[in-house]
Amino acid sequence: MSASGQGTGTLPRGTSIFSTRVKESGRAILAPVVRLAVAMRLTPNTITVIGLVITIVASTLIAFGWLLLGAALLTAGSLLDAVDGALARAQGSGTPFGSFLDSTLDRSGEAIIYIGIGGWLMSSQADPAWPMLALMIALAGSFLVSYSHARAQGIGLAADVGLAPRTERLVLVIAGVALAGFGFATGLLGILVILATLTVATVIQRIWHVWHASQASTSSKEN
């Protein structure tokens, strides 16, 4: 339930790939799933763990070449990632540990997805060197995007700006895996390059944003 913090002052927030309206529409679609989870008395933490288990299964399938099935399961796991936060709000049961567990397993799941894709690349590509390089840059960039957000919060600032937060990255990864499953392996390879570029760009955006926010905060205190 990766919740975004509020912007600082009137600084530009940056634009993610998907608009807020698109994301809100997705949450509305998941409302029946949230109601079902409430009726079944599932906890947000349970949903979070189930989502990770689905991601592990999906990534294993991808590593062994079952790309379309893996993409379908990744979609299900990603939807559960949105459900746990909505469920916590519906039940009023959000806790500091729940937030910690969700963030930790989110990072774990993202790493596991890239490991699964890496396994497929190593076994299917005649020359996997540059695709693996793009994958490693995308993975490192993804972790730095999340880390920059967490560190900004640690100093009392928001850094949820940027082109490629987690939802956008997941959609691109799933689309790339599905394309490869349909026989367009170059689609996945291209998306890995795009992800590598976007994650690095997002880290730079967040550093720039936090620098401006810290300058504005310092100026306001001096005045």
Which DSSP category does 95 fall into? Answer: -
> pLDDT value at position 5?
37
Query: Is 4 within the bounds of a domain?
Result: no
Query: Is 15 within the bounds of a domain?
Result: no
Query: Is 9 within the bounds of a domain?
Result: no
In the block, tokens 């299964």 appear at 57
What does the pLDDT profile of the chain (223 residues) look like in tens digits?
443 333 333 334 455 655 555 556 556 677 777 787 777 888 888 888 999 999 999 999 999 999 999 999 999 888 887 787 778 777 776 788 888 998 899 999 999 999 999 999 999 999 999 999 999 999 999 999 999 999 998 888 888 888 888 889 999 999 999 999 999 999 999 999 999 999 999 999 999 999 988 887 666 666 5
Q: Which domain holds residue 109?
A: 20-215
> pLDDT value at position 221?
65
Domain count for the chain: 1
Query: Is 193 within the bounds of a domain?
Result: yes
84 part of the active site: no
Distance separating alpha carbons of residues 21 and 198, to the nearest angstrom:
21
Query: Is 14 within the bounds of a domain?
Result: no
Q: Count CA within 13 A, CB hemisphere, residue 192.
A: 26
Cα dihedral sign, 156-167-108-208: negative
Q: pTM value?
A: 0.83
Query: Is 82 within the bounds of a domain?
Result: yes
Query: Is 71 within the bounds of a domain?
Result: yes
Is residue 9 exposed (0-12), middle (13-18) or buried (19+ Cβ within 10 Å)?
exposed
Query: Is 88 within the bounds of a domain?
Result: yes
Q: What is the CATH number of the domain that holds 89?
A: 1.20.120.1760
Catalytic residue among 81, 84, 102, 106: 106
Q: Which long-range contacts (CB under 8 A, 24 or more apart) does 90-99 make?
A: 90/34, 90/35, 90/38, 91/38, 91/43, 91/44, 93/43, 93/44, 94/1, 94/44, 97/45, 98/1, 98/44, 98/45, 98/48, 99/1, 99/3
> pLDDT value at position 110?
95
